[in-house]
Copies of this chain bind each other. A is one copy, B any other.
C-alpha cells in the first residue's frame, strides 16, 4: 500500500510538470501574435488609410506573417516532441525538473532568432541571423537529448511497463539530432536558404513518431 501511494504521488507530480510546461508552450506560442502590427491602430478615425493604401500596408507585413507562422510551427513541433517524451516519462525528480526548465528556457527564446531570420530573408547574403537561428536549434536538440537521456537511462523515470521498442526508437532518432542540427549550422555559413530548408526538414522529421520495425509494429497495433 505504501508503494501504491508513492506511485500516485509520482503520477501527480508528472501531471503538474506537464501542466506547467503546457502553460509555458501555450503562452510562448500565443505571444507571437504581438509582433504583428495592426496598420493604423494609433491613427485618428479621419486619418485612416484608404482601401488601396491599406492593402499595400498589409502586403508589407509579409515578413512579420512569415516570422509568425515559422515560430508558431517551430514551437508547436517542440510541443509535440515534449508531449511524446512525457507519454513515456512517468515519474519526476528535482534533476528532471531542472532539465525541463533548461529546455523551456530555450523554447521561450526561440521567437527571437526566428523573427531575426524572417527579417533577413530578403538579404540571403547576410548569414548572422541564420547562424543564430541554427545555433539555437543545436542547443535545443542538446537540451532535448539531456532530458530524454537522463529520464530513460536504466528506465530511471519511465513507467515500469514502458514499451521498450518505442523507447529505443526514440533513442535512435535522438542520437542523430544534435549532429544533423550542427550540419545545418555549418551550412548556414555558406547558404542561408539551404540551412533553413534543412532545419525545416529536421523539424518535420522529429514531429513524426519514430518508425518501429515493421514486423514488430504490425503485431502491436
> Chain A: residues with CB nearer than 8 A to chain B?
5, 9, 12-13, 16-20, 22-36, 38-41, 45, 48, 50-51, 54-55, 58, 63, 68-69, 72-73, 76, 79-80, 83, 86-87, 94, 97-98, 101, 104-105, 108-109, 111-112, 115-116, 119-120, 122-123, 126-129, 132, 161, 207-209
Is B48 touching A119 in the complex (CB atoms < 8 A)? yes
Q: Which residues of B contact A25 (CB under 8 A)?
A: 20, 23
Q: Which residue of chain B is the closest to A93 with respect to CB atoms?
A: B209
Is B128 touching A54 in the complex (CB atoms < 8 A)? yes
Is A58 touching B132 in the complex (CB atoms < 8 A)? yes
CA distance A25 to B79 in the complex (A): 16
Q: Which residues of B contact A94 (CB under 8 A)?
A: 80, 207-209
Is B30 touching A24 in the complex (CB atoms < 8 A)? yes
Is A54 touching B105 in the complex (CB atoms < 8 A)? no
CA distance A55 to B129 in the complex (A): 9
- Beyond the given pairs A23-B26, A26-B27, 17 more chain A to chain B contacts, judged by CB atoms under 8 angstroms and listed by A's residue number, are A5-B161, A9-B87, A12-B87, A13-B83, A17-B83, A19-B19, A19-B22, A22-B23, A24-B30, A27-B27, A29-B108, A33-B111, A36-B109, A50-B126, A51-B126, A72-B105, A76-B104
The DSSP consensus for interface residues of chain A is: helix
What distance in Å separates the Cβ of A73 from its nearest Cβ neighbour in chain B? 7
CA distance A72 to B107 in the complex (A): 12
Q: Which residues of B contact A73 (CB under 8 A)?
A: 101, 105
Is B34 touching A31 in the complex (CB atoms < 8 A)? yes
Is A29 touching B98 in the complex (CB atoms < 8 A)? no
Is B30 touching A22 in the complex (CB atoms < 8 A)? no
CA distance A123 to B50 in the complex (A): 9
Is A54 touching B87 in the complex (CB atoms < 8 A)? no
Is B33 touching A108 in the complex (CB atoms < 8 A)? yes
Is B68 touching A80 in the complex (CB atoms < 8 A)? no
